[in-house]
């Protein structure tokens, strides 16, 4: 298979994929070696970037994915917000942040941190695919543990949770704004 044919096949597969695909998975699909596929993916990514395409090929959440180019983000955001998608509410963002930084975490722990019942918000985040059940705690009643999903990583353009920004500078800014305790 020539480089152009391989790139064409990889591009078509990535276009249809609804999640990041590993180099190994793509190599099996196009019947090439993993190193050859990675070389073609890098060439395809460079090709998109070189021609100023509205899409980009990036490695996120452990695999390769076609994404909107960051330069087009404001236009895409405007389109998405004017369509059927709605923004996350303040309660949803708070809950999502708690899950992202404290996971695995129970519903009760989330509500305790927020100071209000978070059942409905947590359910909505699960329905959107940003949060998922990741297990059960060993304590009484074996409550469900929640964590972020691959969709969460994809939406934020993160390769892993380790890439989340640190909250320490935000806490320091908050303390500085209040003055001495």
Instruction: Please give the pLDDT value at position 154.
Output: 87
Are residues 56 and 120 both part of a single domain?
no
Are residues 12 and 39 both part of a single domain?
yes
Cα separation, 71 vs 52, whole angstroms: 9
Instruction: Please give the pLDDT value at position 158.
Output: 87
- Residues 67 and 52 sit within 8 Å (Cβ to Cβ): no
Say yes or no to pLDDT of 16 above 60.
Answer: yes
Write out the residue range of the structural domain in which residue 48 sits.
3-72
Which segments of the chain does DSSP mark as H helices, in order? 3-16, 23-30, 34-50, 73-82, 90-102, 107-114, 119-127, 150-156, 168-178
Say yes or no to pLDDT of 119 above 60.
Answer: yes
Least confident of 45-49, 74-78, 98-102: 74-78
- Cis amide bond preceding 58, omega within 30: no
State the chain's mean pLDDT as an integer. Answer: 88
Instruction: Please give the pLDDT value at position 176.
Output: 59
Of the pLDDT bands very low, low, confident and very high (cuts 50, 70, 90), residue 81 is low
Q: Is residue 81 part of a domain?
A: no
Smallest Cα–Cα separation from 131: which of 68, 163, 88, 76? 88
- Which of 20, 42, 72 marks a domain boundary? 72
Q: Is residue 82 part of a domain?
A: no
Are residues 66 and 94 both part of a single domain?
no
Query: Cα dist. 169→93, 140, 160 in Å?
Result: 19, 36, 20
Indicate the number of domains in the chain: 2
Cα separation, 181 vs 41, whole angstroms: 54
Cα separation, 121 vs 125, whole angstroms: 6
- Which of 43, 72, 101 marks a domain boundary? 72
Q: What is the mean pLDDT of residues 51-59?
A: 94
Say yes or no to pLDDT of 15 above 90.
Answer: yes
Are residues 60 and 135 both part of a single domain?
no
Element (H, E) at 105: strand 105-106
Q: What is the 3-state secondary structure (H, E, C) of 64-96?
A: EEEEECHHHHHHHHHHHHHCCCCCCCHHHHHHH
| CATH number of residue 27's parent domain | 1.10.10.10
End-to-end CA gap in the chain: 68
Q: Is residue 29 part of a domain?
A: yes
Instruction: Please give the pLDDT value at position 99.
Output: 96
Are residues 63 and 33 both part of a single domain?
yes
């Amino acid at each position: 298979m020539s480089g152009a044919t391989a790139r064409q096949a990889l591009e078509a597969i990535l276009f249809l994929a609804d999640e990041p695909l590993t180099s190994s998975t793509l190599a099996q699909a196009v019947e090439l070696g993993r190193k050859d596929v990675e070389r073609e993916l890098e060439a395809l990514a460079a090709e998109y970037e070189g021609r100023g395409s509205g899409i980009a090929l990036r490695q996120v959440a452990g695999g390769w994915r076609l994404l909107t180019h960051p330069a087009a983000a404001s236009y895409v955001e405007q389109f998405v917000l004017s369509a059927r998608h709605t923004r996350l509410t303040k309660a949803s963002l708070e809950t999502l942040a708690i899950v992202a930084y404290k996971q695995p975490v129970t519903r009760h722990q989330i509500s305790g941190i927020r100071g209000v019942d978070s059942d409905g918000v947590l359910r909505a985040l699960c329905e959107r695919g940003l949060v998922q059940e990741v297990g059960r705690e060993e304590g009484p009643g074996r409550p469900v543990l929640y964590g972020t999903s691959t969709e969460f990583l994809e939406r934020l353009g993160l390769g892993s949770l380790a890439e989340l920004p640190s909250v320490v500078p935000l806490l320091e800014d908050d303390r500085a704004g209040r003055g001495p305790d």
